[in-house]
Amino acid sequence: MAIYSAGDGSEDEDGWMAEINTTPLVDVMLVLLIIFLLTIPVVSATVNVNLPIESAQKRDTSGEYIVISVDRVGNLYFNEAFAPDLQALSGYISQVATRSPQPELHIRADANAPYAYIGQIIDTAQGYGFAKVGLITEPVPQDQARTKP
């Protein structure tokens, strides 16, 4: 806000006049408008992907399947048989991979199991041409179930 004195000495003026200088206000508003116009497309730009829709339906597991289990310390089991290492497990997987029709491979791993073992099992199964590899999980308890918005 600027205050100035009328210095010409005319009698019509009261002496002091108060007037709002709007030029800085307009400048600031234009700068803010430009900033918002430039940043909104950058913030809202995302990669367009088609996300899967969550489904809680149980799958039909009546066909043949093989279960590979991993406990919390990394011990491997082919169905119920203990496999001392990944090479022994790989031997079991190679015998099953040649069956026709090829069974599904289900991996049951402890929540605290080292992920490296699970990744190696998936890699081995893919190497032998398994088309269906799944991970077995526990359902979420009803009291902790996530509500959909």
pLDDT tens-place string over residues 73-127 = 888 888 888 888 889 889 988 888 888 888 889 888 888 888 888 899 999 999 9
Beta carbons of 68 and 105 less than 8 angstroms apart: yes
Confirm whether pTM is higher than 0.75.
Answer: no
Domain coordinates in residue numbering, the chain: 65-136
What residues are paired with 83 via a beta bridge?
A: 76
Mean pLDDT of 128-149: 72
**H helices then E strands: how many in the chain?**
3, 7
Q: What is the pLDDT of residue 33?
A: 93
Q: Which letter does DSSP use for residue 85 in this model?
A: S
Question: Which residues in 31-119 belong to E strands, given as ranges?
Answer: 65-70, 76-78, 81-83, 104-109
Long-range contacts of 52-57 (CB under 8 A, 24+ apart): 56/139
Burial 8-26 (b: 16+ CB within 10 A, else e): eeeeeeeeeeeeeeeeeee
The percent of residues in the chain predicted with pLDDT above 70, rounded, is: 67
The band of 60, judged by pLDDT with boundaries at 50, 70 and 90, is low
Name which CATH class applies to 65-136.
Answer: alpha beta
